[in-house]
Structure 1
Amino acid sequence: MSNKDIDKLTDHLFREYHGKMISFLSAKFGYQQIDNIVDAVQEAFEIALSEWRYKGTPKNCFGWLIYVSQNKLINKINRDSVGSKILNRISYEEEESIASHEAEDSLLQLLIFFSKINVSDRNKLIISLFYLCGFGYSEISRAMMLPVETIKKIILRSQVLIKKIAIQYEKCEFESLHNEMPHLLHVLYLMFNEGFKSAQKRESIKKDLCFEAIRLSVLVKKYQEDHCELNALLALFFFHVSRFPARIQENGWISIQFQNRTLWDKNLISEGYAYLNKIDLSKNRLNKYHLEALIASVHCSSPNYEKTDWRLISTLYSQLEFLEPNAIAVKINRVIAESNYLPITPLIEKMFDLEPMLNGFLKFPFYSTLAFLYEKGEKKEMACHYYWCSLSYTNNQFDNEYINLKLSLLHS
């Protein structure tokens, strides 16, 4: 296996196993050890990168990583435990026998533990994304639209808090998950979104992260079978992943207008509808995830861009706007939908009304949408100007390449 393949494999395994390893070791050694556990897991992956290049990959990668990280952790605990009981190192064979359900159950338990910490909902999300999802500071910064330094401070403060409450914490019965669902769903939503458009690498869709969000959602569903918002979230996820094969080309994004719809995965679309149809609206009100899933379903059911029911999509965005009146991204998406059946000039004016409310994270979608509207209104010079403006706020190389492609087409 080449060095490049090893790098790719360890990156994939980090996404797949990071949360499982943190949660499994936390369940075994106590949540109060979580910082030592994070360090031990990080060391295990660094050793894997080094050793696997020369010795090849082990038969059971998860067992190997647990074996290395657990012994690293035991060494650390023993060094810190002067006068206390010394823990014995474990053998590789002991970790071969870990059942997948043990790791998954401990993962769900840790997610619930974070939901019970007495901090703001925002900080619960940040803590969960850092410890369970393996997000770096910059990834969390982008997902939460907060400065990197703020994220670092929140993580640092959380370490003290976790140690304080871990000793008295009693594990939750999975069957009584209902009160924890808003937090769980929000974490899964952010996790999927970060995979959908990564902040770190050229790879614009981190499929591993998206499918991990789906896998965890299905795990939660085992204990919350008829949960309306969970079914809506799963529907949304499946509608989005169905379009993955058509969204990327060598030089950047392919907008939905030009995607080859024969590449959309019909089986995944059917799976999305199956979850959507499980929602009983006579018992549940429309929620954010349901509305987003409905919007995605309209796209997935449309034979082409021109025959898309843009008025319906605009109406759904309007309802979403009612639920989230301060969500600028929702307002921008509504304008994009309206541009397919309303005059362009009033929509441009509507966009400028949003400008005072922008933060740094929203400037890329704002300027690129303005450029799109001017392009649609056949004002080439203004379109080029705002595409150039948007280049200063691109989040990854694919965004950058997409905008440069738009500029080259306008100049040709």
Structure 2
Amino acid sequence: MTVAGHATEDLLRELAPQVLGVLVRRHGRFEECEDAVQEAVLAAAVQWPAEGVPGNPRGWLVAVAARRLVDQVRSDTARRAREIRVVARESDSEPEVPDADDTLALLFLCCHASLTPASQTALTLRAVGGLTTAEIARAFLVPEATMAARVSRAKQRIRAAGSGFAMPAPHEWQERLGVVLHVLYLIFNEGYTATSGGDLHRADLSREAIRLTRVVHRRLPEDGEVAGLLALMLLTDARRAARVTPSGDLVPLAEQDRTLWDGGLIDEGTALVTEAMARATLGPYLIQAAIAATHASAERAADTDWRQVHVLYRILERIAPNPMVTLNRAVALAETQGPRAGLDLLSTLDGDDRTAGHHRLHAVRAHLLEKAGDLASARESYGLAARGTASLTERRYLESRARRLRCDAFGRSPENPADDR
């Protein structure tokens, strides 16, 4: 694809949710509007590279999509002609409004409380992210037909719930915003560390999550959790180039070449954290971003301020209790008070159904057992962790740790291990 072709594709991906928002706000009919926008985007993808991008590309797409919508829902020729003229006049005379308003309302609609988290994620990627059903299916390793059915059911459920295209009422705002942020967080995490398959990263998903979170942040610049989530994504994504070797093997955080980290993303993320913490109430995303900023500020792994990391995890554990938070706190505790202290904290998670048998619990326990010198137990835990993950990249790494400890048992010295968290 040419540079111009890539530029057109990027512009269409940015404009598609804005155009969909305009149509749904005017006409309702979510599913029909989405079909009309897809047809308009397809027409633009063919026409713009050859004829040039129009002066008002968003207005062009709105007008074309509206005409397609009229063609879909009207059969009377005369009425269709009249409505097309009306829609065209509306598009030409429509005053410019912040594009993010409609996009944010569309995000809220896709994250409707009546949908399951899986459906919220799929519908957000489809309607707001502009990904095709096939792309979403590949990202989550399910057949395209399965994903198509999931998206279709989500649209039907929204229609059955009678949900209109509007921002939620003030008393619903925080709860609904929390769902939107959670869905964006899930999309980013799946892109940064794929839960299954042969690739560690799905960069397209991470980039899309960051782009959509920027949309929300532009609309809500004073919200500390929105700023925190965006900062967390930027600071985490900054490490991407250092997380795998050229052959695709996982490189844990402590062993990464930090000169490969993206300084621009780190600076932007750190600035967001600093500003938000000075004025906003601490929330889970903002605290996680502060932890990521602490890691990013260390030139070497040995320079990491683990006491600060541990304090932040203690705060996070207090305001948003979660076994994964405790698991990560155990790592920080081990760095400040020794591996046995970390192992003792890990043992409190063995009876928690949410983590008992989880491969990350086994992986962290293996890491701490290795630091404590119990190589046989560490090798066993690495094996359990490797068998428990569906990510081939993580499995190769964990199996390599177990093999190395097996060699160490015959007299070779272990290297200093660390997990990528």
TM-score (norm 2): 0.70
- 8 Å contact kept, 1:235–1:271: yes
| 8 Å contact kept, 1:367–1:386 | yes
Q: 1:111 to 1:377 in 2, by over 3 A?
A: same
Q: Could you tell me which residue of structure 2 aligns to residue 205 of structure 1?
A: 201
The CA deviation at 1:106 is 4.0
Q: Could you tell me how far 1:259 is from its partner in structure 2?
A: 0.8
2:376 matched residue in structure 1: 381
1:406 equivalent in alignment to 2:401: yes
The corresponding residue for 1:372 is: 367
Residues 359-387 of structure 1 show CA distances to partners (whole Å, capped at 9, x for unaligned) of 47971211111211222122222122111
Does 1:227 pair with 2:236? no
Query: SS of 2:337's equivalent?
Result: coil
Cα drift, residue 328 of structure 1? 1.2
Amino acid at match of 2:343: I
Equivalent pairs: percent with the same residue?
22
Tell me if 1:350 matches 2:329.
no
Residue deviations 1:93-119, cap 9 Å, x none? Answer: xxxxxxx9997654333113345x453
Give the Å deviation of 1:43: 9.8
Q: Which amino acid aligns with 2:258?
A: R
Aligned pair partner of 1:307 in 303, 307, 311: 303
RMSD (Å) for aligned C-alpha atoms: 4.9
What do residues 27-60 of structure 1 show as CA deviations (whole Å, max 9, x unaligned)? 436775444566788999999xxx99xxxx9798
Q: Tell me: CA distance 1:279–1:46, structure 2 relative to 1, closer, same or farther (3 Å).
A: closer
Paired residues for 1:153-302 under 5 Å: 156=153, 159-162=156-159, 164-166=161-163, 168-170=164-166, 181-199=177-195, 201-250=197-246, 251-279=248-276, 281=278, 283-302=279-298
User: Per-residue displacement from partner, 1:262-309 (whole Å, max 9, x unpaired)?
Assistant: 22222322212221221254x532211121111111111113222212
Tell me the number of residue pairs that the alignment of Structure 1 and Structure 2 aligns. Answer: 384
Unaligned runs of 5+ in 2: 85-95, 408-421
Q: 1:324: how far off?
A: 1.7
Instruction: Label 1:86 to 1:220 Cα distance change in 2 as closer, same or farther (>3 A).
Output: same
Distance 1:108 1:249, change over 3 A: same
Structure 2: which amino acid aligns with 1:319?
A: I
Judged with a 3 Å threshold, the aligned counterparts in structure 2 of structure 1 residues 280 and 319 are, in CA distance, closer, same or farther, namely: closer
Superposition map of 1:94-109 within 5 A:
106-109=102-105
Deviation at residue 333 of structure 1 after TM alignment = 0.5
Contact 1:198 1:204 in 2 (8 A): yes
Distance 1:141 1:207, change over 3 A: closer
Corresponding residue for residue 94 of structure 1: none
Q: Amino acid of the residue matched to residue 276 of structure 2?
A: I
**What CA deviation, in whole Å up to 9, does each residue of 1:69-111 have, x standing for no partner?**
x99999899678677966999xxxxxxxxxx999765433311
Over residues 217-262 of structure 1, what are the superposed CA-to-partner deviations in whole Å (9 max), with x where a residue is unaligned?
3322333222222222222222212222211114421111111112
Structure (1 or 2) with the larger CA radius of gyration: 2
Query: AA paired with 2:396?
Result: E
Change (3 A) 1:205 1:79: same
Comparing 233-242 and 286-295, the one that deviates more: 233-242
- TM-score, normalised by the number of residues in structure 1: 0.71
Aligned to 1:145: none
Moved more, 19-28 or 73-82: 73-82
